[in-house]
Amino acid sequence: MRLLYIFPRTTPDPFEREAEYLRRREILQRAASPGTIVDIRELDGCPPAIESRRDAYAVAPSVIAMAERLEREYDAMIVGCFSDPAVDGALEGTTLPIVGCGLAAMAAALLLGSRFSVLSPSAASAAHVRDLVMAAGLLDRYAGAIPLGIGVREFVVNPSHTLQVITDSGQRALAQGADVILLGCLSLAFTGAGDELQKRLGVPVVNPLRVALRTAEMLVAAGLSPRRLSASRIPQDGARANEVSAGR
């Protein structure tokens, strides 16, 4: 099985880009099942991180273009951002499974507890999480999002500080009624801090990277692929009426 992890950003520094590519690919490969090969590709001409709705919209055309261009090379794809930028659009133009990390993490949370909370980098991203939850129809299982006040590219700079911040924020989430914690950023998920957080809090901490990867593997192994009608494939009113009258 061959999977593609779409890294929806452009790292300005080529040396940092190569180092981050190698680090993330090693983590992805360790998280994958035996026999699964995971490639990682960055986008070109995009923001260096997704930290706002504007950034998420900015990467959308490149995500869709990469998914369509490389469809024949892979069995499934993962879009590496909790806000799932352009996943729905990419599905319209391809036939293979394309998994968004946010929705996959929320789906896993439903199996682990009654209410989940999301640890999100900033106040702006935390506000956006509610929109994602509402779109998924899961507001009744949502305890809220906690802003961490740490930039997306800063999680790896001071690991001990990151761990302390997410520990404090996780305790706030539990006080608000959550019994499952979601890491609401893939850069945070790649630090591995979620494992220690789970030990400290004593509740499930969902790493969206691992869940999205295993979800993609599961869909391929089960022979399942989402289907979305693109505008070019939707029948005209007359054609639709004929299909209905013909019992199709």
The CATH number given to whatever domain includes residue 29 is 3.40.50.12500
Q: Is 223 exposed, middle or buried (0-12, 13-18, 19+ CB in 10 A)?
A: exposed
For the cut 90, the answer to whether the pLDDT of residue 225 exceeds it is no
Do residue 108 and residue 202 come from a single domain? yes
Q: What local confidence, expressed as pLDDT, does residue 89 receive?
A: 93
Residue 236 counted as domain residue: no
Do residue 90 and residue 111 come from a single domain? no
Q: Which tokens is 6 given?
A: 């779409």
Predicted structure pTM score: 0.87
For the cut 50, the answer to whether the pLDDT of residue 29 exceeds it is yes
Q: What local confidence, expressed as pLDDT, does residue 131 receive?
A: 94
Q: 216 and 79 in contact (C-beta within 8 Å)?
A: no
Residue 80 counted as domain residue: yes
Do residue 95 and residue 56 come from a single domain? yes
Between residues 239 and 55, the one the model is more confident about: 55
Please report the beta strands in 46-163, taking only residues with DSSP state E, as ranges in sequence order. 76-79, 98-100, 116-120, 142-147
Buried b (16+ CB within 10 A) or exposed e, 31-44: bbeeebebbbebbe
Band (241; pLDDT cuts 50, 70, 90): very low
Do residue 17 and residue 42 come from a single domain? yes
Residue 6 counted as domain residue: yes
Q: What local confidence, expressed as pLDDT, does residue 153 receive?
A: 82
Q: What local confidence, expressed as pLDDT, does residue 152 receive?
A: 83
Residue 248 counted as domain residue: no
Residue 171 counted as domain residue: yes
Do residue 58 and residue 120 come from a single domain? no
Beta carbons within 8 Å of 60's beta carbon, 6+ residues apart: 85, 86, 89
Do residue 168 and residue 112 come from a single domain? yes
Do residue 115 and residue 168 come from a single domain? yes
Residue 135 counted as domain residue: yes
Name the residue type at position 11. Answer: T
Q: What local confidence, expressed as pLDDT, does residue 228 receive?
A: 66
Residue 202 counted as domain residue: yes
Do residue 89 and residue 179 come from a single domain? no
> 5: closest CA among 66, 52, 86?
66
What mean pLDDT value characterizes the chain? 90
Q: Left if phi > 0, otherwise alpha if psi is -120 to 50, otherwise beta: which for 2?
A: beta
Q: What local confidence, expressed as pLDDT, does residue 244 receive?
A: 41
pLDDT tens by residue, 113-157: 999 999 999 999 999 999 999 999 999 999 999 999 998 888 988
Q: What local confidence, expressed as pLDDT, does residue 246 receive?
A: 47
Band (16; pLDDT cuts 50, 70, 90): confident
DSSP 235: P
Host domain of residue 86: 2-101+210-230
Q: What is the crossing angle of helices 208-221 and 14-31, to 10°?
A: 60
How many secondary structure helices (H) and strands (E) does the chain include?
10, 8
Do residue 129 and residue 223 come from a single domain? no
Q: Which tokens is 126 given?
A: 């935390």
Do residue 201 and residue 223 come from a single domain? no
Rg (the chain; Cα; Å): 19
Residue 193 counted as domain residue: yes
Domain count, the chain: 2
Do residue 112 and residue 74 come from a single domain? no
